[in-house]
Amino acid sequence: MIIDREEEIKLIGEGIRRNAKILIRGLRGVGKTTLLKYFCDRCGGLYINCQRILHPEHLLLIMGIREIVSDAYQALERFFYVVNRQKKLLAMDEFTDLLRNFGTYKPYRGRGGTNAVAMHLRALLEESKIPILFSTTSLKTLHDVAGEYSKPLARSFDVIITLYPLSFENTIKLIDLICSERKISCSEKAKIRIAELTGGNPSYIKAIMLRLLEKNVDVRHIDEVFMRELNEGYFNALFEGLRRELSIGEIIVLYVISRGYTRFSEIEKRARGVNLSQVLNTLIKRGLIRRTKLDKEAHYVFVDKTMAMWFALEPYPGLEKITYNTARVIHAAFESLVRELFMHVNKSIEIKDVTGRNLTILPIKKVYYYKGKLGEIDMIARTDAGTIVAEIYFGEKADLDKLKQLEKNIAIAETLGENVTVALLISYFGFKDELIESVEKSLAKDIIYLVDKNLLRTIAKAVGYRNI
Ligand SMILES: Nc1ncnc2c1ncn2[C@@H]1O[C@H](COP(=O)(O)OP(=O)(O)OP(=O)(O)O)[C@@H](O)[C@H]1O
Ligand SMILES: [Mg+2]
């Protein structure tokens, strides 16, 4: 059962019909293998897990050819000769591993390695008339062989699909599905917590859900299981493995960002002696962080929020410890995702709110979260024309209380000296009728706008942020 991939399935299906070479890239566990296997099942294709092709002979064995070969070039030639004649779909999962592995064999070894295999593959693809699906998790290797115009595989793919985690809505669908399979029941709050902690990554969702032992699951159970897996279980093993692949400089920078320092200057202060620009660039190429510019200064945030939490809770000499709850609020909570989305707004965006009112969101200069003597505000975002305050909610349809909270936020922000020109009530699952009716009676009605998941998605699309 595949959830939330209609668009990708359509694109891939069309590509296969045109015999295209299709690349699916994405971080661990987002569902690449699932898509490859889905199409191989449907079209009678040949699925190859390139992580298992450790020797040139292994590639031939897949085609039923038993031969003694140690020449990787010949094995690749032979393999493509046979698959091209079979005229069916070929799917090469983690194909960058094949490039790397074969790069260590004759005749590539010492003559360009990975890059030389990539050059050979380009020639083979140019001649091949069958549809081929490729996938990779190694975004850095992919960048090295195809990232720039001059690289061997730069123009070899007709279709390139970046696979993101599931949207929150579909995350909850997947959770419901697993609940009914496992005959357990999760409270609404527990489901939301899973969605936040996993960022919608299907393998993370499964990892948590398969470890739930109770029949009736509440937030507390989710937190317990998650913390345990982060400290010593599945997530710990996963992220420790990933950390081992990184350079010292990259690791240091990830620790610093995990503590909530996102601005270049803040990171620089705490990662002394590191060639920061270069390290940030490789982290971006690896797909681990993303950059956004706010008022001309670059900010850096984790792509994978679960990984961010793991780094945040690991001790690091010289950086303060933070608690599980703080780490969750900084990185994983729905509110933090919305703040991050607004950090990406670098041009004017025109939207219509839920009640049909026009709203222009101007480029954002600064985004913050206020917690202090006066209370708490989920988001304060400054623009050249004034300040946006928001109340952010992810649960069910927002009720009157949320409107009252928003009105309070406006007052607090003004006391803080902000010139509030827009007040957003952001509720993922929409609004109760009573709330929509009451906005009319509010003293702040001229500046209040109601934003639901569809509008968040419109904004996300406009700024190139992931589907929320
Ligand atoms: N769209 C989806 N709907 C439901 N389940 C999914 C979906 N995508 C992935 N899964 C499930 O999530 C798990 C991880 O998926 P998959 O192995 O396809 O990811 P991947 O990107 O290939 O991961 P890796 O980087 O580890 O190879 C699997 O158990 C799969 O069944
Ligand atoms: Mg996979």
- Mean pLDDT, 10 residues at a time, over the chain (468 residues)? 94 98 96 98 96 97 91 97 95 98 97 97 97 96 94 96 95 97 96 97 97 96 98 97 96 97 96 96 96 92 97 94 93 95 96 96 95 95 97 94 97 97 97 96 96 97 91
**CATH annotation of 339-463:** 3.40.1350.10
Place of tokens 């913050």: 368
pLDDT of amino acid 467: 85
Cα of 199 to ligand 1 centre, how many Å? 14
pTM value > 0.85? yes
Q: Which of 223, 219, 57, 33 is nearest to 133 (CA)?
A: 33
Query: Which residues is 161 bridged to in the sheet?
Result: 24
Cβ proximity of 128 and 84 under 8 Å: yes
Ligand nearest the Cα of residue 37 is 1
Ligand 1 atom closest to the Cα of residue 35 is 18
pLDDT of amino acid 395: 87
Cα of 201 to ligand 2 centre, how many Å? 13
Cα of 205 to ligand 1 centre, how many Å? 10
The number of helices, as runs of H, and strands, as runs of E, in the chain is: 21, 16
Cα 54 to Cα 26, 40, 395: the distances in Å are 23, 22, 48
Cβ-proximal residues to 55 (8 Å cutoff; 6+ apart), any chain: 70, 105
Q: Where are the domains of the chain?
A: 6-162, 168-231, 238-332, 339-463
Name every protein residue with a CB atom under 6 angstroms from any ligand 1 atom. Answer: 1-5, 26, 28-34, 137, 174, 202-203, 206
Ligand 1 atom closest to the Cα of residue 135 is 22
Paired tokens of 167:
């949207």
Cα of 110 to ligand 2 centre, how many Å? 29
Cβ-proximal residues to 280 (8 Å cutoff; 6+ apart), any chain: 253, 264, 267, 289, 291, 300
Collapsing DSSP to helix, strand or coil, 128 comes out as coil
pLDDT of amino acid 253: 98
pLDDT of amino acid 201: 97
Q: Give the whole-angstrom CA distance, residue 385 versus residue 59.
A: 62
Are 238-332 and 339-463 in the same CATH fold?
no
Pairing of strands 448-451, 375-383: unpaired
Pocket mutation for ligand 1, best pick of 164, 203, 205 (most atoms within 8 Å of C-beta): 203
Task: For residue 55, give the amino acid letter.
Answer: H
Cα of 204 to ligand 1 centre, how many Å? 9
* Alpha carbon 359 to chain centroid, angstroms: 28
**CATH annotation of 168-231:** 1.10.8
Superfamily in which the 6-162 domain is placed by CATH:
P-loop containing nucleotide triphosphate hydrolases (3.40.50.300)
pLDDT of amino acid 295: 86
238-332 architecture in CATH? Orthogonal Bundle (1.10)
